[in-house]
């Protein structure tokens, strides 16, 4: 505790503003536990950049922690691009303090002689990714905490290709940041280097989104959509993109259309949670809509609900939407004729069905760690290959490579194209998904997410992963364990034969069991939230669409059995 207090006292110098100093003094005198939570560590970059609770302290998002990030990044940019007029672009979402913090970040860049393009108002994360390349910038920043609770904010860094920073750059940038003290931050802005941007980038992004997501589907006039932005940024883009692509029958949930960092109408602004889309689904039932789309605050994730075989609106999971979007794109490429250099991609905790489809279409399949930065890196690493599309189970998808992060704007349009086309052909999004199960195998997934907050929670998560590794199960629902994939040691081991295979992707704290029947169970701590996540994937053969409900019921029973066996 003494070292924590000493760290906190370094924030009482004249460099820090009066309000910060006053708050820290009160914590030192009156609330040692809260002081500990705020200063026991520095906020770190995770799979989605830096994300944390706002407030004073080294373990909080504030002008000083973000200022230090920005100073370190400025130093790195100047070392990397010695002869250039360095340019960065900054966007921010609907969260509390996002606009103020974005201006602080812009000020620090400008104080370092770096030219800044700052969006004049909130914009989506995919538009920021697009803007980096469109404006010829060397880096980009978006201030967002995605779908985290209202007290959070965050800071994601993008490089010149429009993708998030990846190794070795992220480590080099972190080293620059860690070499600084807070007093090294230059807050002395140069307003002449800060340029506000808006419509000129919007227009280019909307055009690119429509050209990548619009496949001239039939039946658009007869297709009813209910859309909600869940108080986030997508209201600035999705209605306009849908309109330009010919969708005129779009009902917007007005109560959720106003950006608001409190997210007053939802428990969580996360389209993965059925509760978040409740208002939109009720409206869809009321007006007889075909599809519901909801996006998270920074508009990189989308939740889709469609009519099932009974005609009721059902929320699909990220694996289901990813599978059908990818199949649709593969069919479009197949019609034109594959050139032999195409690939699709997903993450190690997403559905194995993606690999089965890649085999069936004869395209390359690439898999990556969780986080879209790794899929963006694939595009950069294989410039002669063509990225068709790809996603991850956590409701993110990317169409082509004009944006280098998950993109709910273009993906929403693509989902509408698939569903409108299916309806015009006497089918539906849901029926097409079942047909895909018949064709490639029926894969059913389940995610269990356990929240463990604070310092003690971090220790608990660490121990759970150790137990999962050191005390593996022998079988899962009667199917013997075959492989243990340990991404920390980059080794996959066949527990039956002792055979070992290298895993050729970066190290990560992930462990995956695979059984003889293809059941997969993955465990990983979240990189951006105090959570440990368990991903279950089961599969079965589906001979015909008419058997869907009985086979689905069998797989649901199997998943419940797995959860019981693992005490989850």
Q: Which of 98, 129, 146, 537 is catalytic?
A: 146
Of 257, 265, 203, 205, nearest in space to 235 by CA: 257
Domains and CATH numbers, the chain: 1-40 (no CATH), 46-197 (3.40.120.10), 222-439 (3.40.120.10), 442-566 (3.30.310)
Residue 5: phi and psi, rounded to 5, are -60, -40
Q: Please, what are the averages of pLDDT over each run of 10 residues along the chain (568 residues)? A: 91 96 96 95 74 95 96 96 93 97 98 98 98 98 94 96 92 91 97 98 98 97 97 98 98 98 96 96 98 98 98 97 98 97 98 98 96 94 97 96 97 98 98 98 95 84 87 94 96 96 94 97 84 95 98 98 92
Q: Two tokens at 367?
A: 């898999």
**pLDDT at site 136:** 97
Whether residue 146 lies in the annotated active site: yes
Assess contact for 430 and 309: CB atoms under 8 A: yes
- pTM of the model as a whole: 0.95
| 523-527: Cβ within 8 A, 24+ apart | 523/464, 523/465, 523/468, 524/349, 524/370, 524/465, 525/461, 525/462, 525/465, 526/46, 526/47, 526/449, 527/46, 527/47, 527/48, 527/370, 527/371
Question: Distance between CA atoms of 17 and 80, rounded to whole angstroms?
Answer: 32
Look at residues 530, 521, 512, 505 and name the one whose alpha carbon lies nearest to residue 558.
521
* Cα distance between residue 270 and residue 276, in whole Å: 6
Residues 6 or more apart whose Cβ sits within 8 Å of residue 335: none
| Structure tokens belonging to residue 270 | 């996360």
Q: What DSSP state is assigned to residue 288?
A: T
Strand order in the sheet with 139-143: 45-46, 49-53, 152-159, 139-143, 87-92, 115-119, 194-197
């Amino acid at each position: 505790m003494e070292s924590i207090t000493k760290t906190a006292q370094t924030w009482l110098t004249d460099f820090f503003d009066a309000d910060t100093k006053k708050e820290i003094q009160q914590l030192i005198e009156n609330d040692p536990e809260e002081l500990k939570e705020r200063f026991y560590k520095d906020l770190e970059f995770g799979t989605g950049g830096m994300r944390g609770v706002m407030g004073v302290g080294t373990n909080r998002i504030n002008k000083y922690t973000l200022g230090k990030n920005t100073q370190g990044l400025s130093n790195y940019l100047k070392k990397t691009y010695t002869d250039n007029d360095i340019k960065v672009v900054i966007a921010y979402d609907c969260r509390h303090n996002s606009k103020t913090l974005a201006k602080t970040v812009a000020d620090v860049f400008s104080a370092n002689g770096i030219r800044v393009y700052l969006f004049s108002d909130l914009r989506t994360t995919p538009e920021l990714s697009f803007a980096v390349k469109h404006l010829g910038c060397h880096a980009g920043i978006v201030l967002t905490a995605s779908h985290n609770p209202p007290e959070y904010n965050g800071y994601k860094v993008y490089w010149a290709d429009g993708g998030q920073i990846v190794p070795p750059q992220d480590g080099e940038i972190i080293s620059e940041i860690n070499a600084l003290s807070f007093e090294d931050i230059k807050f002395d802005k140069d307003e002449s280097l800060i340029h506000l941007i808006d419509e000129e980038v919007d227009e280019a992004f909307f055009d690119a989104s429509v050209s990548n997501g619009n496949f001239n589907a039939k039946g658009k006039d007869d297709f009813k959509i209910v859309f909600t932005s869940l108080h986030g940024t997508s209201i600035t883009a999705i209605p306009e993109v849908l309109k330009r692509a010919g969708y005129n029958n779009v009902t917007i949930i007005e109560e959720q259309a106003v950006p608001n960092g409190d997210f007053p109408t939802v428990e969580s602004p996360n389209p993965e949670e059925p509760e978040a889309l409740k208002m939109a689904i009720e409206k869809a039932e009321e007006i007889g809509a075909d599809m519901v789309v909801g996006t998270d605050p920074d508009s990189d994730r989308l939740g889709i609900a469609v009519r099932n075989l009974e005609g009721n609106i059902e929320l699909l999971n990220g694996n289901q939407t990813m599978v059908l979007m990818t199949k649709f794109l593969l069919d479009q490429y197949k019609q034109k004729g594959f050139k032999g250099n195409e690939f699709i991609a997903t993450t190690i905790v997403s559905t194995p069905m993606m690999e089965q489809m890649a085999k069936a279409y004869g395209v390359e399949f690439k898999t990556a760690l969780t986080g879209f930065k790794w899929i963006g890196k694939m595009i950069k690493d294989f410039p002669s290959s063509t990225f068709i599309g790809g996603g991850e189970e956590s409701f993110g998808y990317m169409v082509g490579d004009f944006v280098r992060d998950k993109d709910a704007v273009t993906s929403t349009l693509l989902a509408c194209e698939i569903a409108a086309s299916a309806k015009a052909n006497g089918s539906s999004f849901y029926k097409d998904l079942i047909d895909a199960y018949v064709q490639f195998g029926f894969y059913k997934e389940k995610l269990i997410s356990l929240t463990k907050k604070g310092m003690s929670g971090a220790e608990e998560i660490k121990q759970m992963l150790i137990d999962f590794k050191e005390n593996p199960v022998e079988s899962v629902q009667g199917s013997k364990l075959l492989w243990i994939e340990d991404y920390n040691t980059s080794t996959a081991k066949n527990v039956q034969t002792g055979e070992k295979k290298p895993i050729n992707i970066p190290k990560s704290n992930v462990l995956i069991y695979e059984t003889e029947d293809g059941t997969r169970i993955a465990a990983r701590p979240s990189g951006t939230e105090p959570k440990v996540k368990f991903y279950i994937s089961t599969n079965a053969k589906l001979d015909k669409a008419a058997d869907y409900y009985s086979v689905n019921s069998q797989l649901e029973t199997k998943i419940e059995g797995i959860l019981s066996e693992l005490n989850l």
